[in-house]
Amino acid sequence: MIYFFHARAEPRPIQWLLTDWAPELAKRLCVLPYEDLHAVVALQHGAYIFADIERTTLLQARLAAAVRRRIVDHGAGPILNHPGKSMRRVKLLATLVREGINDFRAHRLSDLRSEPRYPVFLRLASSHDGVETDLIHDRAGLEEAVLKLAIEGVPETELLVVEYLDFRGEDGLVRKYSVMRVGDRYLPRHMLTSDHWVIKVPGPKSEAVRAEELAYLDAPPHMDQIERVFELANIEYGRIDYGVRDGRIQVFEINTHPVLFLPRKHYKAADMPVQKLFVDRFVRAVESLDATAGAQARSDVVPIELTLDDARPGPAPES
């Protein structure tokens, strides 16, 4: 059995995976919203994936960390991600600048102490829905954009000011690369291209670009850099999204509950070889977690029974 924890507000990624792409995993996965942790009395011995960490509240993260402690105390596992120690977006991006991996900075608006390097854009710290603004080229534009979002009810503490880097290639296309980590396996996911600076969904692809993507899936470069970023972030389950500039990766985020697939109807026939390649690799990686859990099981049940003490403040999660 594999327990998959996520925020109830965003069930689609796991639902689309199980209904449209890998229904065979449904009998192996028990999907548990963080909102229901207070009612959990016991779990079966198995593997555990703490996904969707970016969307957990402080209280949910505390309770999830308490669940993780119970699992560790009973020798269960493997356990992927730590609700209190896996880095969220802000902490990760700051760490990557400090480590000399990223060349762009991301500042919480509420913590902005110096002028950023323009152009910039605004996005939300805990959302994976893309950017909130177009590119902003000066202080006046930044203040106007912040005022507009404030009127719309966006909390200042959720706003990130992100410095923009141009990843456009010689052919005019922007490329966004992604690699999924599942335990000790790193699975190249896709190479998305666009003539716009923001890429959220697959766009039209020429035969040359399709061939380039297949080559990337077969032998992605920069894997040593990618593995280092995952280790720095303390994330064992998630998808890294990045661009390449001057031969170096520039990491946009690690999403611990990514949309691995859209529903099948969104893909053309020409897209299916890439999708099938990834789903086969992903299913094997998940099945290996289940096999590892069965091999190291010491008992059938892990008692949980959370208490009020588990909800009390401890160390804050890595933001």
Give the whole-angstrom CA distance, residue 120 versus residue 109.
12
Q: Is 316 a member of any domain?
A: no
DSSP 8-state secondary structure symbol assigned to residue 260: -
Taking the model in full, what pTM does it have? 0.92
Q: Provide the token pair at 89.
A: 């977006």
Q: Is 99 a member of any domain?
A: no
CATH number of the domain that residue 203 is part of: 3.30.470
Q: How far is CA 67 from CA 58, 63, 226, 303, in A?
A: 14, 6, 29, 9
Q: Split the chain (319 residues) into runs of 10 and give each run's mean pLDDT.
A: 92 93 92 94 93 92 94 91 94 96 93 90 87 95 95 92 94 94 96 89 81 92 96 98 94 95 89 91 93 68 89 74
Give the whole-angstrom CA distance, residue 250 versus residue 279.
26
Give the whole-angstrom CA distance, residue 179 versus residue 181.
7
Under a CB-based contact definition with an 8 Å cutoff, are residues 190 and 178 in contact?
yes
- The pLDDT assigned to 76 comes to 86
CA dihedral 178, 180, 185, 187 (to 10 degrees): -50
Q: Is 88 a member of any domain?
A: no
- The pLDDT assigned to 301 comes to 87
Q: Is 76 a member of any domain?
A: yes
- The pLDDT assigned to 26 comes to 92
Under a CB-based contact definition with an 8 Å cutoff, are residues 90 and 125 in contact?
yes
Say how many C-beta atoms besides its own lie within 10 A of residue 296's C-beta. Answer: 12
Q: Is 100 a member of any domain?
A: no
Handedness of CA 218, 224, 225, 230 (dihedral sign): positive
Task: Specify whether 187 is located in the same domain as 252.
Answer: yes
Task: Specify whether 131 is located in the same domain as 205.
Answer: no
Q: Provide the token pair at 119.
A: 């152009």
Task: Specify whether 178 is located in the same domain as 274.
Answer: yes
- The pLDDT assigned to 17 comes to 94
Q: Which domain holds residue 33?
A: 2-83+288-311
> Of 143, 163, 183, at which residue does a domain stop?
163
When divided into structural domains, the chain yields a total of: 3
